[in-house]
Chain A
Amino acid sequence: MAKARLIGDRTNKMMVQAMERRATDVRGRVFQITLLVTLLISLFILGVLIVDVVVDAWGVLTGRPSGFLTGTMRSLSGDPKLGVQQALVGTFWIAVFVAVLAFPIGIGAAIWLEEYALKNRFTRFIELNIRNLAGVPSIVYGLLGLFLFVKSLGGLTGGKSIASAGITLAILVLPIVIITTQEAIRAVPQGLKEGAYGVGATKWTMIRSQVLPYAAPGIFTGTLLSMSRGIGEAAPLLLVGAVSGRLGSNPGFFDFSAINAEAFMAMPVIIVEWVQNSGRDPGFAEAAAAAIVVLLVFVILMNAAAIFLRNHFEKKRG
């Protein structure tokens, strides 16, 4: 503005004209409103989705909330013992597998790529490979699990077991863990690293004392996102053989023998199961909606926490 005034009257006049034009810029207004509407449609869909699910689930969730959480799979939707307990156990164990396998391996790989790897073709190949893995459809991971863990290594994993499913999902989220961790590590200021090296820190000391603490919130965000992805994923589980029909056993949460027993259930799969059952028994649609609410509570909480954490630290560190 100050510059414009210096340049002289003509510029001034042009700006005034531009401002007047803006006031009557109908096309611009329409464009902006159209854009806003597209955004609002997306948000509206999210709203409808949540309202629709909650309305469907209302009867079950308000009628017998604890019974639903502790109940098991049944053949009739009216069965008072119908519930998601087995699915919760399965999802719990999948989460454990993801946390135990994908987090350490993913974080380790990211540290290596950012701090140790030479910038050569081999490193670029690994990074390209990871980006491609992140884009592989989840069902292809299911095929990998089916081929490798169910068929080839069935003796170890127990075939169509929670172990096969857990390892498959850990593999599926691994690229996400690596990529988000890499981003977090890349944001560590060079000055901190040099400061640590400058007083004689070794590479690992520097990483442990400077890089990891500074990147921790970002890494944690990444693990939350990948965990929520992992527990919501259904397709690979269908391929590595989450049961259809009734699940015979009803293991407790810490029943280790159930890990490689041949049969398991998980939250996203029970939703599919019940949606399919709703064809013959419409009451199952409500049960499915209720299961969705349970799953969404976990998923949305994790995502929201991750987004909040990321925005918070982004703002704090400028």
Chain B
Amino acid sequence: MSDTRVNPAGGLTVQSLKANPRQARKERLIRDCLGGTALVSVLISGLIIWSLFSEAWTFMVEVDWGSVWDIGWFPRRGIYDIKTLIVASLIVTGIAMIVAGPLGLGAAIYLSEYARPGVRRTLKPILEILAGIPSVVLGFFALEWIAPNVVKTLFGGPAAGSLLAAGIGVGVLVVPLVASISEDAMKAVPMSLREASSGLGARKITTTIRVVLPAAVSGLMAAFIVAVSRALGETMVVFMAGGAAQTAVYTHDPLEGSLPLTAGMTSLARGTDSVVGEGLTFQSLFFVGLMLFVVTFALNVVADRFVHRVREQY
């Protein structure tokens, strides 16, 4: 006990306040190990970029670029019409946002501005459960329920898969995402703004639409962009309910089946159980993947900016 006590007769020196070398070594070792784990994420990013670029580069160098703008996606026959995939992706994403935008935003406004705490406590977890549903399950649901009950009866489309069915399925999938980011944005709006507005005699609806939503607009933008990025990258729903297998002829009709970027990749990899087929099939996979990565990355960076703006504001 007395060894930490200082002898008033002048026993304390710099030496006695030096770190215990064994302990210092242990602390350094732990710090370095933890730092190493943090670097793993950088390594992963590097590997992702390297793997995408190296194979996509081979594709871009060796491919006959005429086959990249053609009648459809037939990779095993050397026809890599990229616009088929891109247009299908855009259609699915557009439909998904038409579904998820209003539903997610409405749910968010209700939860943030109108729901009483008790109601909120029960409804919010249910929405979070919906967020956790795996996308294969929504793929099944889109194909088995949305296609016959919504696409066929309401839009006169096929009862089997179609871009519309896939789009609605993806929309359902991103509703919770839109709702939760939007709700966070609206919750970040200071109470004093709302009080100031209602203090001037504004009704709740006016306060919500004229004050809260404009104040939260950065966050709402972020929600929308993240949802677009997520919808573009969504794979299983479009693969299972997109209405095309392996190959697709170019179409821009939502009631037909086609292959969005992700579905094109999946069906290629899933084909006759090896992607190392003829010519550049393997590399084309990475070319498509690279395009998807670049676009979603850009969207995420933009969304991140918006989220930061929310933080700076309040």
Chain-A contact segment, one of B6-14, B78-86, B90-98, B118-126: B118-126
Known: A38-B103, A108-B34. A144 touches B175 (CB 8 A): no
Known: A39-B107, A139-B233, A143-B52. A14 touches B201 (CB 8 A): yes
Known: A42-B103, A136-B48, A275-B140. A111 touches B34 (CB 8 A): yes
Q: Is B74's CB within 8 Å of the partner chain A? A: no
Whether A292 and B172, one on each chain, are in contact in the complex, defined by CB atoms closer than 8 angstroms, is no
Whether B40 and A105, one on each chain, are in contact in the complex, defined by CB atoms closer than 8 angstroms, is yes
Whether A129 and B45, one on each chain, are in contact in the complex, defined by CB atoms closer than 8 angstroms, is yes
**In the bound complex, how far is the Cα of B42 from the Cα of A293, in angstroms?**
37
Binary contact track B198-232/A, C-beta < 8 Å → 1, others 0:
00010111001000000000000000001001101
Whether B134 and A132, one on each chain, are in contact in the complex, defined by CB atoms closer than 8 angstroms, is no
Q: Is A192's CB within 8 Å of the partner chain B? A: no
Whether B296 and A53, one on each chain, are in contact in the complex, defined by CB atoms closer than 8 angstroms, is no
Q: A38-B103, A126-B38 are in contact. List 7 more A-B contacts (CB 8 A).
A: A109-B34, A133-B41, A136-B297, A144-B44, A144-B47, A271-B136, A285-B144
| Complex interface: chain B residues within 8 A of A142 (CB) | 269
Contact of A289 among B110, B140, B226 (CB under 8 A): B140
Binary contact track B29-47/A, C-beta < 8 Å → 1, others 0:
0110111111111101101
A-B contacts, CB under 8 A, total: 277
Contact of B47 among A148, A203, A225 (CB under 8 A): A148
Q: Is B141's CB within 8 Å of the partner chain A? A: yes
Whether B106 and A35, one on each chain, are in contact in the complex, defined by CB atoms closer than 8 angstroms, is yes
**In the bound complex, how far is the Cα of B245 from the Cα of A244, in angstroms?**
14
Contact of B266 among A139, A141, A295 (CB under 8 A): A139
Name the interface residues of A44-59: CB closer than 8 Å to any CB of B: 45-46, 48-49, 52-53, 56
Q: Is B176's CB within 8 Å of the partner chain A? A: yes
Chain-B contact segment, one of A67-75, A170-178, A248-256: A170-178
Q: Is A307's CB within 8 Å of the partner chain B? A: yes
Chain-B contact segment, one of A77-85, A92-100, A212-220, A234-242: A234-242
State how many angstroms separate the Cβ of A139 from the closest Cβ of chain B.
5
Whether B233 and A140, one on each chain, are in contact in the complex, defined by CB atoms closer than 8 angstroms, is yes
| Complex interface: chain A residues within 8 A of B48 (CB) | 136, 140-141, 143-144
Whether A39 and B106, one on each chain, are in contact in the complex, defined by CB atoms closer than 8 angstroms, is yes
Whether B139 and A138, one on each chain, are in contact in the complex, defined by CB atoms closer than 8 angstroms, is no
State how many angstroms separate the Cβ of A17 from the closest Cβ of chain B.
8
Can you list 9 residue pairs at the A/B interface with Cβ under 8 Å? A39-B106, A126-B39, A140-B52, A142-B269, A143-B285, A202-B27, A233-B135, A292-B136, A295-B136
Name the interface residues of B122-171: CB closer than 8 Å to any CB of A: 123, 125-130, 132-141, 143-145
| Complex interface: chain B residues within 8 A of A295 (CB) | 134, 136-137
Whether A132 and B45, one on each chain, are in contact in the complex, defined by CB atoms closer than 8 angstroms, is yes
Q: Is A304's CB within 8 Å of the partner chain B? A: yes
State how many angstroms separate the Cβ of A92 from the closest Cβ of chain B.
16
Chain-A contact segment, one of B62-70, B247-255, B286-294: B286-294
Q: Is A113's CB within 8 Å of the partner chain B? A: yes
Name the interface residues of A90-135: CB closer than 8 Å to any CB of B: 104-106, 108-109, 111-113, 116-117, 126, 128-133, 135
Binary contact track B232-251/A, C-beta < 8 Å → 1, others 0:
11111001100001000000
The B interface is mostly helix, strand or loop, or mixed, namely helix
What is the chain A residue whose CB lies nearest that of B123? Answer: A39
Name the interface residues of A25-40: CB closer than 8 Å to any CB of B: 25, 27-28, 31-32, 34-39
Known: A232-B136, A275-B143. A112 touches B240 (CB 8 A): no
Q: Is A165's CB within 8 Å of the partner chain B? A: no
What is the chain B residue whose CB lies nearest that of A231? Answer: B134
Whether A109 and B38, one on each chain, are in contact in the complex, defined by CB atoms closer than 8 angstroms, is yes
Residues in A lying within 8 Å of B, measured CB to CB: 14, 17-18, 21-22, 25, 27-28, 31-32, 34-39, 41-43, 45-46, 48-49, 52-53, 56, 104-106, 108-109, 111-113, 116-117, 126, 128-133, 135-144, 146-148, 171, 174-175, 178, 202-204, 225, 228-229, 232-235, 238-239, 241, 243-245, 268, 271-272, 275-276, 285, 288-289, 292, 295-296, 299-300, 302-304, 307-308, 311
Residues in B lying within 8 Å of A, measured CB to CB: 23, 26-27, 30-31, 33-42, 44-45, 47-48, 51-52, 54-55, 102-107, 109-111, 114, 121, 123, 125-130, 132-141, 143-145, 172, 175-176, 179, 201, 203-205, 208, 226, 229-230, 232-236, 239-240, 245, 262, 265-266, 269-270, 273, 275, 285-286, 289, 292-293, 296-297, 299-301, 303-304
State how many angstroms separate the Cβ of B258 from the closest Cβ of chain A.
17
State how many angstroms separate the Cβ of A7 from the closest Cβ of chain B.
11
Known: A111-B34, A204-B27. A45 touches B114 (CB 8 A): no
| Complex interface: chain B residues within 8 A of A285 (CB) | 144
**In the bound complex, how far is the Cα of B267 from the Cα of A139, in angstroms?**
12
| Complex interface: chain B residues within 8 A of A36 (CB) | 110, 114
**In the bound complex, how far is the Cα of B266 from the Cα of A260, in angstroms?**
22
Known: A42-B107, A53-B141, A136-B296. A268 touches B134 (CB 8 A): yes
| Complex interface: chain B residues within 8 A of A147 (CB) | 51, 54-55, 286
| Complex interface: chain A residues within 8 A of B240 (CB) | 272, 275-276
| Complex interface: chain A residues within 8 A of B129 (CB) | 46, 300, 303-304, 307
Q: Which of B27, B203, B208, B299 has the most CB of A within 10 A?
A: B203
Whether B34 and A112, one on each chain, are in contact in the complex, defined by CB atoms closer than 8 angstroms, is yes
